[in-house]
A and B are shown apart, each in its own frame.
Chain A
Amino acid sequence: MSDAVLQIEGLEIQFPGFAGAVHAVSGVDIEVGAGEIVGIVGESGSAKSVTAMSALRLLPKGAFDMPSGKITLLGKDLATITETEMNEMRGRDVAMIFQEPQTALNPTKKIGKQMIKVIELHTELKGKAAKDHALSLLRDMRINDAEEILDRYPFELSGGMRQRILIGMAFACSPRLLVADEPTTALDVTVQRQVLQLLHHKARQTGASVLFISHDLAVVNQFCDRVYVMYAGRVIESGKTADALGSPAHPYTQALIEALPEHAKKGEALSSIDGTVPNLVKPPTGCAFEARCTKSIEKCIQRPALKPIAADKRQVACWLKEAQNV
C-alpha cells in the first residue's frame, strides 16, 4: 500500500438539502498507484467529480457531510492536515485540470504572469529562471510561439490552446498526482487527440500518476491503465481497462457499452437502458442498478460488495458474479 499516491477508503459524502440529504457518494474505495493512469467513468450524477474533488479537499466547507471515509494523499491523512498544509500540497504535489479551460484561467491576467506566479510560489525558481521554465513547459505542450503566448490574455487563445497551457501549468512543479476532470470534453476530436497525447506523454515522462475522470467510455478505454466504473455514487466495477471495458462483468457496464452507436447497424434499434438513475435522497438499500437491470435476481435487494473476481485488482459489485464464482 505504501506506493499508492492516493487512497480513498469507504468514502461517504452527503449534501444536505431541504428534501433530505443527497447521498452523493456511498462507500467508495479508490486507489491510485505511483505512475498509474486511473480512470473514473460514469454517467452524470454518478459522483465521479465529487469523489475526485474530495481527494483534493476541494469541496466547499459546510456544504457537505462526510460521515465516514478515509482519504490518504501521498501518505498523509487528509483529515489530520491543516488548510495551510493542504494549500501547499495543491499545485506542488497534486494538480488539477478542469473541463472548462476558459474558467480555470484568470481572464484579467496575461498567461505569462499566471504561469510565472505558480512557478514562483511553489518552486525555488524566481524571475528569469521562472520565465524560462514557463517557456519550456509551453514548448513541451507543442506551443510553437511560446514567447508570444506568454504575453497574451486567455480570451485570445483557442480552447485547445488554453487546455494545453493548463496542462503545462499543472506540470510546472512536477506533481506526483494530477487530477483531470473531463479535460477534453469541451474540445474537438482532433484537438482532444492532441491534448490526450500530450498529457499521456508528459505523465509518463515525469512519472506522475493521473486520476482521469470522464463520461466518455472510448476515451477512458484508450487513455487509462485501470478504470473504476461508477453508478449512483458507488463503484460497481473496476480493473485493468482492457478487462473492465473489454469484457465487462457488471450488467450496467455491459448495457452502457451495448448502447454505444458503433455497436448497432444502421436501421437497427440501439439497445438502451430503460428507466433513470435512482433518487439519491432515498438511495436504494440494495444494488443501485437493480431497478434498471434486466438480469436482477431476488438477492439484488441487498447491496452487493465490491469483490475481486480475478487478478490485477479486477473487482465487481454484483450478486450474479458472486453466484457464479461460488
Chain B
Amino acid sequence: MSNHVMQLNDVHVRFPIGANWLGRPKGFVHALNGVDLTVRRGKTLGIVGESGCGKSTLAQVLMGILNPTEGRFSSTADKEAGVQIVFQDPQSSLNARMPIWRVITEPVFARKRTSVAELRNIAVELARQVGLREEVLDRHPHEFSGGQRQRIAIARALSSDPDIIVLDEPTSALDISIQAQILNLLTELQQARGITYIFISHDISVVRYLCDEVAVMYLGQVVEKGPVEDVLGAPQHPYTSLLLESVPTMGVAGDFGQPLTNTDLPSNRNLPPHCYFLDRCTFAGSECRQAQSLSPVGGEKDHVARCVRATSGDLNMREGKENGAC
C-alpha cells in the first residue's frame, strides 16, 4: 500500500435528473459505473477516453470535490493541499482580477495566515521554477499568452506543495510548439519534486509520451488499463484499438475507405445490461451479451481488459476486421 497514493474500488457516481411531485428523482445519469484504479506514487497515470466517458467526473472524485455514490475512494494525500488541479482552459481558470502573484499563491493564502511578503517570496520562487520572469508577477492574466497562462496555472498548483496534480487536458488548448514547452516543464517538475500526475487527455500521442500507466475509459468504466507500452502498443480491447486507429498520424496515409457507421455512445441514463461497447463492436458474439469484467490479459497481471474475447486468449480478433469498418 505504501507506494499507492490513491485507490478507487468499484466507484460509482450517478447524478439525479428531474424530480417527480414528491421531489424524488425521475432517473439518473450514470457517470461512473464501477471504476477500479490505483495511482502509484511518483508515476504518471493517463486517463484516455472520448467525451461523455466520465473522465471529468473521475477527476472530481480524485480531487475530493465529489463523493462516490457507491464504492470506496481512499487517498493518502492531504485532502486540501495534497491534490491540485490544472485545467484545460487557462483563460477561464485564472482569476482575471488578480495580479498573477496572488493567483499563484491563492492555495497558500486560503489555507493558512501568511504575510504578503512571504506570499510574494513563494510566488517569485514558483515563477522561476515554471519559467516566468519575476518582473511579470504584477501583471494580470489577460496580459499573458495561452502557454504562459498554463505556466501560471501550473505554478498555482505547485504552491501548496501537493503530492498529486490532476492535469485535465492541460495542453489541448495550446499550439504544438507551446505544448512541447509545457510537457517538458511537467517532466522536469516531476523529476525534481517526485509529484504524482494524473493526466486526463484525449490525445494519445501525448499520453504515450508522458504516462507510465494508462486507463482507457468508455461510458464510465475502465475498459483497459496497464503499462502504456502494453496498452497502446498491443491494445486488447476493441475500443482501444478503434481509438488508436482513429488517431491521425504523420506519415501514414489517411484511411478513406468505408466511413464508420456508428460513433455514438449508448445513453448513460439506462445502462445496457451487456458489454457497453457491444453496439459498436465488430467482434461481438453471444458471449458479449453479459456484463464484462476487468481481467488480466494473457499472463500479465498489470495489463487488464474488460473484454471476454481478449482475456480468454482469443487474441486473433484483429483478423476478423474488415477494412477499418468498426
Contacts and interface: CB of A to CB of B under 8 A. Distances in A.
Interface of A: 43-44, 142, 158-161, 188-194, 196-198, 200-201, 215-219, 221-223, 245-246, 255-257, 259-262, 264, 266-267, 269-273, 276
A261 B181 contact: no
Contacts, number: 126
A276 to B, nearest CB: 6
B263 A197 contact: no
B50 A270 contact: no
B299 interface: no
Contacts of A216: 248
B135 interface: no
Contacts of A269: 184, 187
B184 A272 contact: yes
A159 B177 CA distance: 28
B253 interface: yes
Given A189-B243, A193-B246, 8 more contacts: A43-B175, A191-B50, A197-B258, A200-B254, A200-B256, A256-B177, A261-B180, A261-B205
Contact of B250 (A189, A217, A272): A217
Contacts of B178: 272
A197 B260 contact: yes
Contacts of A194: 259-260, 263
A276 B246 CA distance: 31
A43 B177 contact: yes
Contacts of A192: 246, 248
Contacts of B204: 189
B47 to A, nearest CB: 15
A191 B180 contact: no
B176 A256 contact: yes
B21 interface: no
B254 A196 contact: yes
A276 B145 contact: yes
B177 A259 contact: yes
A239 to B, nearest CB: 15
Nearest to A202: B259
Nearest to A275: B177
B249 A271 contact: no
Contacts of A267: 187
Contacts of A161: 264
Given A194-B263, A262-B250, A188 B177 contact: no
B256 A201 contact: yes
A189 B259 contact: no
7 contacts: A43-B177, A189-B246, A190-B246, A218-B250, A260-B176, A261-B208, A272-B178
Interface string B43-54: 000000011000
Contacts of A158: 264
Chain A binding surface, main DSSP class: helix
Nearest to B176: A259
A190 B260 contact: yes
A194 B254 CA distance: 12
Interface in B55-87: none
B251 interface: yes
Contact of B263 (A43, A44, A160, A257): A160
B50 A272 contact: no
Closest 3 CB pairs of A and B: A222-B254, A272-B180, A188-B50
A271 B260 contact: no
Contacts of A188: 50-51, 202, 263
A39 B129 CA distance: 39
A153 to B, nearest CB: 17
A128 to B, nearest CB: 28
Interface in B94-130: none
A246 B257 CA distance: 22
B177 A190 contact: no
A221 B250 contact: yes
A222 B256 CA distance: 9
A43 B176 contact: yes
A270 B185 CA distance: 10
A270 B209 contact: yes
B51 A201 contact: no
B183 interface: yes
Interface string B173-194: 0011111110110010000000
Contacts of A270: 180, 183-184, 209
Nearest to B251: A246
Contacts of A160: 263-264
A291 to B, nearest CB: 13
Nearest to B244: A189
B247 interface: yes
Contacts of A255: 177
Nearest to A42: B175
A52 B50 CA distance: 30
Contacts of A218: 247-250
Nearest to A266: B209
Interface in B207-254: 208-210, 228, 242-243, 245-254
Contact of B177 (A142, A196, A272): A272
B255 interface: yes
Contacts of B92: none
B261 interface: yes
Given A190-B263, A270-B183, A221 B243 contact: no
Nearest to B212: A266
A221 B180 contact: no
Nearest to B229: A266
A160 B145 CA distance: 30
Contacts of B203: 261
